[in-house]
Structure 1
């Protein structure tokens, strides 16, 4: 007996040049059916071809939902295009997708399989509808990444200058050109920073939240802007664990029986821009904030690796920024002690 679909979903596994789309339905008997799976170019022409393909498969009276994974920046063009077309889109975090795929006991991993799993997930789960980043957030993200690129270029030029000046009989004209290039990069960095400040000042509410984040020792304005821009103001996150995974700070274990006991490490399968932005702030926090210094010392003593202590502080700083930004509150140095006093039945009798 043929039953009508009650839900329709398109799962999309996307990469730089192309994406795999899988069209699936859920019928009145709660049976999932994968109707078709097809590959398209990750271009405007590919988006339009996908729409025509879906029109041949869809049930006109049932809304179509699109589900894709937040991997890099490759999903953004399609997500924005679908949103502008008035379509319902969900962008899920890699950890959510991996957990769901594991629940289905799927051992193989291909673009086609991932697209089908995403489609089934969209049919079986109630996923939040994706809201695109505001123009200010998009601009901040682009400017922060531009600044990082310029800083990398500045570092490379300084290394070249150092190597040249330490060499035997350095070429003076080469030295002068390197100096001019370095001066140009420094000027461009200042221009980007000025544009970042102007963009921030155009949104007083965002500026207030950023100001609260900057009350954390070690977190400066540019670091705060980079963290907020890379996470779209933490719009996709409903828990600290999701944020930690997105940044690649989630812990990976590799143990089996008594023979395999590899040391734990962070996955690094996440947004490396967040980890880069937190490296030097973590070193500053360890130096000037006792609570972070204790965390670093404890982890370093246990693992005999100083970098593990630094990474642990990076993770704590990211979670702290998330908490302050979400709650729109400044950092309180005595918060933990005040919390103990409030919860103590002796010091705070009923």
Structure 2
């Protein structure tokens, strides 16, 4: 299924049945009935800047399993298969074929609590960014009337920030497993409540996947680039930008207090590694540590229950 703001274009493989439905509750209900009539086992869709959320959640509620795929991977698959043209109908057919070739498994929908946590964390990030902008504007002006106006806006954003932080903390405390994970993460000095909330909202797989898989999911796993006798530079690419950015930010802070991470940082510097290489390596090392703590916390919680 190709997803846009207003429309959902579909293509079934095998068979080639195609359809178009509106991207709203009524259209998605029609789509679910159409899928059942055509014996659809899985609806495959790309992440489309948020337009996919409503059909993804509603289709699951209506008993139709869905799977999510990376848009860049699908585009490269299309080019490799000779599909240079790009229309909604062609994209739907390519996505269906990609899901079939990859033998894609369903992507389980997040719980209501997970959805709310992600929404609250996203809004807190927006408010924090807006607050920073207003403070910068205040520091750049000397006009008394402008400063007074900015002060009013800053007060509003600070109030919203405190309210959102309180709601996030309550949501985490009310969930026994989340509370256990929160305690495990914050046992590392330098990992604050906002960091915990970001990781739990945007990287819920932490503690479930292997160290290699979680690093790849966050875009912190080096990609092999060797050919014959050549051993090329191993870049990092893709992954979830939100968790990666927060790990970049706090890894240096945690390294000041954690002896193992601090020693790792010093070894990299002594070896003459580039600053960006050190930054990526520290973030990946911290993620591996957090993943191990989350894995232990999940086991402890499972045994306790």
TM-score above 0.5: yes
Secondary structure of the 1:155 match is helix
Whether 1:244 aligns to 2:233 is: no
The residue aligned with 2:205 is 234
* Unpaired segments ≥5 residues, structure 1: 1-11, 26-32, 165-169, 331-350
Secondary structure of the 2:281 match is helix
The residue aligned with 1:23 is 12
Q: Once the 2 structures are TM-superposed, how far is the Cα of residue 222 of structure 1 from its aligned partner? A: 1.9
Secondary structure of the 1:139 match is helix
Alignment of 1:316-327 (within 5 A): 316-327=285-296
Kindly provide the CA deviation profile for residues 99-143 of structure 1, in whole angstroms up to 9, marking residues without a partner as x.
9949x9536564655543442354466544333212211111111
Change (3 A) 1:281 1:236: closer
Are the counterparts in 1 of residues 198 and 243 from structure 2 also a CA contact under 8 Å? yes
Change (3 A) 1:202 1:52: closer
Alignment of 1:171-182 (within 5 A): 171-182=143-154
* Unpaired segments ≥5 residues, structure 2: 300-305
The residue aligned with 1:43 is 24
Change (3 A) 1:17 1:310: farther
- Greater helix fraction, Structure 1 or Structure 2: 2
Please, what TM-score do these two structures have when normalized by structure 1?
Answer: 0.70
Change (3 A) 1:100 1:64: farther
Secondary structure of the 2:57 match is helix
Secondary structure of the 1:64 match is coil
Aligned residues: 297
Larger radius of gyration: 1
Q: Once the 2 structures are TM-superposed, how far is the Cα of residue 215 of structure 1 from its aligned partner? A: 1.6
Kindly provide the CA deviation profile for residues 11-57 of structure 1, in whole angstroms up to 9, marking residues without a partner as x.
x24355544422112xxxxxxx5x1445544333442453465467x
CA distance in 2, matches of 1:236, 1:122: 27
CA distance in 1, matches of 2:102, 2:126: 39
The residue aligned with 2:165 is 193
The residue aligned with 2:248 is 279
Aligned partner (choices 47, 54, 67) of residue 77 of structure 1: 54
Whether 1:310 aligns to 2:279 is: yes
Secondary structure of the 1:184 match is helix
Please, what is the CA RMSD of the aligned residues? 3.7
The residue aligned with 1:213 is 185
